[in-house]
Chains A and B, each alone.
Chain A
Amino acid sequence: EAGVTQFPSHSVIEKGQTVTLRCDPISGHDNLYWYRRVMGKEIKFLLHFVKESKQDESGMPNNRFLAERTGGTYSTLKVQPAELEDSGVYFCASSPLGQGPNYEQYFGPGTRLTVT
């Protein structure tokens, strides 16, 4: 079974540009999550999809970030325009539907975003 995959693995862009990160969850996983780790700080929750619906987007930092999950399969996270403080590692995770707090979320390898 393939794990969570993320693309690209690393992106370097200039301030003001746009970047789109992609996440492919494990097949059949209806829950999809985005997290990010800004340098030296904790990994922070960004948002949670259940299928194509946003269940919780309380962690999205501002309106420069737009997440979509059309069709309930893969998800994209667009940053437009990117700022220096957006640099960090963006993780995607997925889990099957109906699981409570005692089940893990399966994480992807992350996308390292560098804004210069």
Chain B
Amino acid sequence: AQKITQTQPGMFVQEKEAVTLDCTYDTSDQSYGLFWYKQPSSGEMIFLIYQGSYDEQNATEGRYSLNFQKARKSANLVISASQLGDSAMYFCAMRFAVDASKIIFGSGTRLSIRP
């Protein structure tokens, strides 16, 4: 079965510190994409970063990087130098080549940045 697991329902981090949000997944497919979305209190879903299953390099987008460990089936999001505006829900998600219709989401992690 295809499944995304986020084991941290909530996290508190001091401003300017780095934070790692955990994500593990379960699939037997070889071709898939991993995504992270941010959902601030305003409700919209904001795309942050993408990692392809065949990408050898870890994806980076500004302060966001994805620590992709394929053998362990993990795709952790690392936010460097956290800011107050990073406080939000963060969702790890997957999409598959064999069924590119849908995205499967994890349950989310609520990140709170302390000033």
Contact surface of A with B, Cβ cutoff 8 Å: 9, 33, 35, 41-45, 48, 55-56, 59, 89, 91, 93, 99-110, 112
Q: List 10 A-B contacts (CB under 8 A).
A: A9-B43, A33-B103, A43-B91, A44-B105, A48-B102, A59-B102, A100-B100, A101-B95, A101-B100, A109-B42
B81-102: which have CB < 8 Å to A?
91, 95-97, 99-102
Distance of A33 Cα from B97 Cα, bound (Å): 17
Residues of chain B at interface, number, CB under 8 A? 28
Asked if residues B50 and A102 are in contact (CB atoms below 8 Å), the reply is yes
Partner of B44, one of A33, A45, A100, A110: A110
A45 to B93, CA, bound (A): 12
Closest to B32 in A: A101
B:64-115 near A, CB below 8 Å: 91, 95-97, 99-108
Q: A101-B31, A102-B33, A109-B42 are in contact. List 19 more A-B contacts (CB 8 A).
A: A35-B103, A35-B105, A41-B107, A42-B107, A43-B108, A45-B101, A45-B103, A48-B101, A89-B43, A93-B45, A100-B100, A102-B50, A102-B95, A104-B35, A107-B44, A107-B46, A108-B45, A109-B43, A110-B44
Highest count of chain B CB atoms <10 Å: which of A9, A33, A102, A107: A102
Are A33 and B43 neighbours in the complex by a CB distance under 8 Å?
A: no
